[in-house]
Structure 1
Amino acid sequence: MLEQRYRTPVSARVNFKELPRHGQVVQRDPTDQALVPITGVVKTTGYDTIELKVWRDGLISATTRQALTYGTSGASFTLGAHLSAGLYDYDLSIALLAGSARLVVARIDDLACGDTLLINGQSNATAPDYWSEGLGNQSQSKWIRSFGSSINSANVEFDRNWGMADGELGYEHCTVGSWGLRAAELLVQQEQVPVGLLNGSVGGTAIVQHMRSDAFPASKATIYGRLLFRARRAEMAESARAMIWYQGESDGEAVADYAARFQLLYDAWHQDYPALEKVYVFQIRKGCGVNFSGVREFLRSTPDLYPDVEVMSPTAAPAHDNCHFFYAGYRELGDRIARLLARDLHGSSDTHEIDPPNVLSAQKVGGAGDQILLTFRDPDDALVFEVGAEADFILEDGVAVTSGTIWGNQVLLQLAGPTTSAVISYNGHAGDGPWLRNARGVGALTFFYLPVLP
């Protein structure tokens, strides 16, 4: 098990200002490198040199020495360990030298250089093993790590260690959720670099409970503050590349409040995590208290409102229990979000059919008023309309949709009769069943009150 291991013998006093933690994942820079600073003051006199040795996979890769010059407060030093991104274990030792004598004052094991990501939201972001299937950790790897505990209390401060990420448990040491662990597994496989992942989600919470305390952003009394506390302790706050947000079931129909609060949250993320390149938003689905639109239409619109936001649908993911998912569903969500991360952060060429189909327009066609043509945003979408999906469409005047026919990125809806409805909605449904999706199985985003053009 990865744990903190600093050793400073009592025979030499060294005050470290900057020192990495055992098992830490250090964010790589654009050149696939990282410089890990090691700074401090040697308080014990009689040593002439401080030495840093770096091992990569058990072999010495670098040795750095700095002469010590003592002042009234001791001898200050500034060292740096250069790491290369990849599936490598780095070990460091810091020693004091006096002539031929050498005293090791600290050793840090199992450092790695890769990418760092954040997750927050409510219970479908927490995503533990709700049904005791024992499958959530099949993606577990020494190259997927987390820091501290996702415990929902101020006791978060007592766990300050890195460890192997866990996908089955919730609110415990290094728990990241099953879809988070699955997404990280795919990124490790594709990029061949470690992933550091923090999940700060709490089940059954409305967005108001996720707001930052501007007076004390890292307050351990708040959900926002606990994640920020851990990110700062893990040295991820300044470097995390993406935030993944899955929340909204607890907000009911309070759309205006939700939009305003999401804006505040979005601004806070970019202040406290300045390196964020992307924010990923899961649109929630019917079930878990969500009956109709709720905040789903706002979540669908987030990429139009924020240039760095991408949206993902949970529709057509299997094994939905009307609120959460069995492992098969969470695994699918991990696959979906991993493809977006790989495209946006790593330049992956796997880009076809990885976004959820997102409707652009609806228009009446034909002379009888009993057909509506839906056009979707991506002209390359290869849509699939499963028999029975027509039941998820709603017209204001109650006219039923009886079937759907695919024309490339368009769906021709056949109605039971002429409609006078000015809008159309696609509500989806809880549980499994027929869906409107793309050829890769990614379900269409639900939409509400979409104007029907004449």
Structure 2
Amino acid sequence: MSNFNKVFAITFFLLFAIGLTEKLQAQRVYSVIFNDLPQDSQLFPRNNNNIANIPIKGIIEVPGWTYLSVILTREGKNYGYSRGYINYTSSTLGNFSVPNVNIKAEPAEYEISIYAMNANGKDSLFMASRQHLVAGDIYVLNGQSNAYAFNIGNEPFFYDNKYIRTFGKHLGQVSDTLWVNPSPQVGALALSFQKYIFENTGIPTCIINGSVPGTGISQHFKDESYPTNLGTIYGSLLYRIQKSRAIDKIKGYIWIQGENDIFDNSTTYPDDFKKLFKSWQIDFPAIEHYIVAQSNVYPIPTINAASIRNFQRQTPLLSNKIEVLALNGYETLDGVHHTNKGYFQIAARLYKLFGAQYYGVTDDINNHSPNVKRAYFTSSKHDAVALEFPEGTEMVAVPDTVLKSPYTGNIVTLGIKDYIYFDNDESRTATITRIDYSGNKVIFNFNAPISYNKIAYLPGRYYTFDFTKYMGPSMRSKNDLHACSFYDLAIESENTAPLLSPSLTATALYFDKVNLTWNKVDKAVNYVLEVQDGGIYQVIATLDSSMTSWIHQGLLPSTLYTYRIKAINAIQTSSYNGTTVTTTALLDSPVISASQVAIGEVKVVWGAVKGANSYLLERSINGTTFSGIGTFNSTTFSYADTKVAYGLSYTYRLKAFGTGTESPLVTTSIKVVNELVTPVLKQNAIYTYGSGIASLEIGWKSVDGATSYQLERKQAGQTYQILNNLDNAKNSYNEQSLAANASYTYRIKAKGNFTESKYDSLTVLTPNVLTTPTLAVEENLTNKTLLISWNSVAGASTYQFTRNIEGQSTSMKTTLSTNKLVDSTFIQKANYTYKLQAFGANTESAIATKTFTTSLILGNEPLAVESLVYPNPCHDFVWIRLPYSTSGGVDFIDTQGRIVKSVEFKNQELLEVSLQNLPAGIYFTRVQTAKAIWNTKILVN
């Protein structure tokens, strides 16, 4: 082994440390996961060319390998070679499939060996090998003990042949999925059948046997919620068939069951079988050939045996996939089970039934169990009854059986004449003098005319003092196929021709309707229409003879339906005539969508549907019943719904119509955007200036979902005008040029994507301009003061007073609530300008202006500094008026001579000093500058 191989092998071992792990759908070999890999001894179903393919595919989880090689040998000799290249989908993960690994269906075993190969084709790693592989046919056998028996009366049957197989055991565990030699567990019948096939054709076979002794039919039902439930007979069998990978390659399904239901006097067997057969059709849809065994005559007392057997013989009427095989008349040991010789005989008949399909046996109606079609009197004397079997059947004379009773020693002669009964009563018999065999007819001649209406063949049970089990003989065809027993068969009149079969025609009217028509049949009283459902024909209508057409409704589109019809009267039933029809295909589903395109408007659009000539559109609001919007022609693909309301959900459904068909309903839903919350207007601020111009600010709370706000305004007698569309970041608006004493009405709405709110409105009245006050100025030369006064203005609450003295850079500005002011700053021969403006609630006046020139004081009268400290007494503050602008300091001295407060000033003429922190009492002020000192006594309250 090369170093590369060694590293690869070690990597495999370290990664997984396991050689082979089986899973349900995959097997792991080191770092290779095989999705398909044979098991030892596996049988692969052959195709029509007698070849079977061995699938090998999977995933490799290690990089660096190029392909997998498969070496195929036959009986130890090289036979073929195939390779499957690895396609890496990532750096470490690749998939592969090995084609053309084929083997023949023949008496030979094959082996495969699988290797992983690198790019140069020299480094390889052995992956796996599988041995004893064969190709052939797979069958399923199911039922109860007669399908399973292999050791009746201590008479075991073994057939050792390495080319035949079975798969698992009938109630195995999950791990019970090995391919093994079938002897003996599949039973004597299965082994005999496999032996017949191999010895006549050389083709290997596998029979999977799901039978369980002593089981009624209901015990074979499927667990609908868990079909592969291993705790059920059905689930165990289905599981093994699925695991065998041959579920779509099964050649035939053989059902041998009914003993328990006969012993239990079942009244539900027909319905139970139909239920079971429907399950088979679902889980084994590829099986085309079912064999239903008609039960033998048993010694156990029962009242329903004959009717159950009669149903079994009629199962082919349920489905054209079913054929019945009669088991009466074969050798038995205990009255219920057969000897090995009996199972050999049944296996030989099974080989004939399947031989024409799969093994080149010439088909012959005489290889099938004769199943009576009708019975009728041969003449008006009513002294002979003919049984008519399928055309081409050659019924043969059957001699009486002469036996000695093991219980009484009596010599007993048993003949077919002893097993013919009338009117469903085994006590009603007639003496048969002769039995004639003529082609497909068996004719019973009586010693006297009979007046019976119905005939039956074989008793419900057989038990006498002489024999405790049915000993025969049986009616049969020339190829030794025993005739089915029957019960409740009407005897037709001698001159009655067979009731003709109606000719049935089916025409698809619509995707879910078929029109069935037929011709009128003479002497028919009713017509019975049936349709195949789940592989079984079901009656869908029984109509009187006046009708020749009927419409079958509620069907599936583009589906093949198989119909058949028969005519009936009181004593006759015609053969079936059938036909098939495929219902019209549905049109493709339209592609529909809805979108809101504007406030109050939804647009519905749909795509064109091939074959449609119209479209029906309907609407539902908030889940209510749909109502029609309209029908549109084939070239219209949209509709504008302008009648939608805020916040409601609308569902639109659409159907396309064509000739004889329509599409499925399709729906689309949309919720119309909710109406936005109405923004509430409020007045934030309003003001009227002295100029007569008013300003206003209005606001609102932001609205969720709003993208903008539309604000409008009007005055009395006018219409609203849009002021602005404001984005959603705004929640206020200001106007600066309104008229005073004017009424304005504003309204606002929020706007969003395909939505808006209702309007909210607000009416405002701008305030009027206050009257301009009139100023008056008076001089008091004694006190050196100016008295300024003005008239009270209605609506004014405060006044703003401003004084400017010509030649000075500073001015005085104060707000007053009175209508007078004493100006103690007196400068001789100076120009004073006074301005006054009245203010009220949200309004003001124009500014009143007064200019005044002070007088010249004659003489040299000294100034009293005391008069320049005011007010006195004082409380919170004092003003100190200096004779001129200067710099210095002010000290406040208490009566103890202590300085309690000091203030410095610079280039000032008027000082304002706060006294808030001084206790009440007498103080002295000392004003000191570079040129002078002034002292004044003050009282602080």
TM-score by length of 1: 0.89
Structure number, greater radius of gyration: 2
Q: Deviations over 1:66-118 (max 9, x none)?
A: 34454255222211322222222111111122452332111111111111110
Rounded Cα–Cα distance in structure 2 between residues aligned with 1:372 and 1:333: 30
1:408 positional shift: 2.4
> Can you list the C-alpha shifts for 1:104-148, whole angstroms capped at 9, x where unaligned?
1111111111111101111111122111123x224x422221010
Name the SS of the counterpart of 2:442 in structure 1: strand
The alignment status of 1:399 with 2:426, answered yes or no, reads no
Residue in structure 2 matched with residue 123 of structure 1 by the alignment: 145
From 148, 157, 160, the equivalent of 2:174 is: 157
For residues 320 and 369 of structure 1, do their structure 2 counterparts lie closer, same or farther at Cα, with a shift above 3 Å needed? farther
Show CA shifts across 1:127-186 (max 9, x none): 22111123x224x422221010124xxx4323221111124xxxxxxx222112111222
Report the counterpart of residue 436 of structure 1 in structure 2.
Answer: 475
Matched ranges for 1:322-401 at <5 A: 322-349=335-362, 351=364, 353-387=366-400, 388-396=415-423, 398-401=428-431
Query: 1:171 — aligned with what?
Result: none
1:383–1:409: 8 Å Cα contact kept in structure 2? no
Q: Which moved more, 1:324-333 or 1:399-408?
A: 399-408
Residue in 2 aligned with 1:148?
Answer: 168
Q: Offset at 1:65?
A: 2.5
SS in 2 for 1:88: coil
What SS does structure 1 have at the residue aligned with 2:277?
helix
* Counterpart amino acid of residue 332 in structure 1: Q
**Amino acid aligned to 1:76:** N
Output the CA distance in 2 between the equivalents of 1:84 and 1:365.
56
- Deviation, 1:287, is 0.6
Alignment-derived partner of residue 137 in structure 1: 158
Q: Partner residue of 1:82?
A: 102
Q: How does 1:404-419 map to 2 (within 5 A)?
A: 404-419=435-450
Q: Contact 1:91–1:107 (CA<8 Å) still a contact in 2?
A: yes
Q: Distance in 2 between matches of 1:439 and 1:11?
A: 58
1:259 is displaced (CA, Å) by 2.0
SS in 1 for 2:191: helix
Match status 1:229 vs 2:249: no
Q: Is the 8 A contact 1:148 1:156 kept in 2?
A: no
RMSD, aligned α-carbons: 2.4
Measured in 2, the distance between the counterparts of 1:392 and 1:62 equals 62
More displaced stretch, 333-342 vs 70-79: 70-79
Q: Secondary structure at the match of 1:359?
A: coil
Distance 1:84 1:143 in 2: 12
Residue 131 (structure 2) pairs with residue 109 (structure 1): yes
Change (3 A) 1:314 1:12: closer
Q: Which amino acid aligns with 1:445?
A: C
The number of residue pairs the alignment matches comes to 437
- What is the DSSP-based 3-state SS (H/G/I as helix, E as strand, rest coil) of the residue aligned with 2:231? coil
Residues 146 and 11 of structure 1: CA distance in aligned 2, closer, same or farther (over 3 Å): closer
- Alpha-carbon separation, structure 1, partners of 2:196 and 2:110: 23
What amino acid maps onto 1:208 in structure 2? S
Amino acid at match of 1:399: T
Structure having the higher helix fraction is: 1
- Taking the aligned partners of 1:229 and 1:380, their CA distance within structure 2 comes to 41
1:344-365, CA deviations, whole angstroms, 9 ceiling, x for partnerless residues? 3334215362111211211123
Aligned to 1:243: 253
Tell me the SS of whatever aligns to 1:95: strand
Q: 1:256 to 1:31 in 2, by over 3 A?
A: farther
Opposite residue 417 of structure 2, the aligned amino acid is E
**Partners of 1:385 and 1:404 within 8 A in 2:** no
Query: What residue is the counterpart of 1:172 in the other structure?
Result: none
Three-state SS of the structure 1 residue aligned to 2:366 is: coil
Work out the CA distance in 1 between the residues paired with 2:301 and 2:179. Answer: 37
Letter in 1 for 2:133: L
> 2:430–2:450: 8 Å Cα contact kept in structure 1?
no
Q: Which has the higher strand share?
A: 2
Q: Which one-letter code corresponds to 1:182 in the other structure? A: S
Quote how far apart the aligned CAs of 1:28 are: 1.1
Deviation at 1:384, TM superposition (A): 2.3
Change (3 A) 1:207 1:11: closer
2:332 equivalent to 1:319:
yes
Q: Does 1:64 align with 2:46?
A: no
Farther off after superposition, 257-266 or 69-78: 69-78
Other structure's SS at 2:48 match? coil
Determine if contact 1:115/1:195 at 8 Å carries over to the other structure.
yes
Take 2:333 and 2:438, find their aligned partners in 1: how far apart are those partners?
A: 29
Deviation at 1:319, TM superposition (A): 3.1
| Letter of the 2:127 counterpart | V
Distance in 2 (CA, whole Å) between partners of 1:313 and 1:125 is: 14
Deviation string 1:203-258 (CA, Å, 9 cap, x unpaired) is 11111111112221111011111111111111122221210001112223867622
User: SS state of the match for residue 267, structure 1?
Assistant: helix
Deviation of 1:293 after TM superposition, in Å, equals 0.9
Paired amino acid for 1:395:
F
Given that 2:105 and 2:203 are in contact with CA atoms closer than 8 Å, whether structure 1 keeps it comes out as yes
Q: Which amino acid aligns with 1:405?
A: D
After TM superposition, the structure 1 = structure 2 runs for residues 235-314 of structure 1, keeping only pairs within 5 Å, are 235-252=245-262, 257-287=268-298, 289=300, 291=302, 292-314=305-327
Q: Name the amino acid aligned to 2:217.
A: I
Percent identity over the alignment is 26
Question: CA 1:25 to 1:7, structure 2 compared with 1: closer, same or farther past 3 Å?
Answer: farther
> 1:280·1:309 contact (CA, 8 Å) conserved in 2?
yes
Distance 1:11 1:188 in 2: 35
Asked if the contact 2:158/2:183 (under 8 Å) is kept, the reply is yes
Report if aligned partners of 2:63, 2:92 keep a CA contact under 8 Å in 1.
no
1: CA distance, partners of 2:394 / 2:66: 67
Tell me: CA distance 1:321–1:45, structure 2 relative to 1, closer, same or farther (3 Å): same
**More displaced, 423-432 or 206-215?**
423-432
Note the C-alpha offset of 1:46: 4.5
Task: Indicate how the Cα distance of structure 1 residues 415 and 23 shifts in structure 2: closer, same or farther if over 3 A, else same.
Answer: same
The answer to whether residue 73 in structure 2 is matched with residue 55 in structure 1 is yes
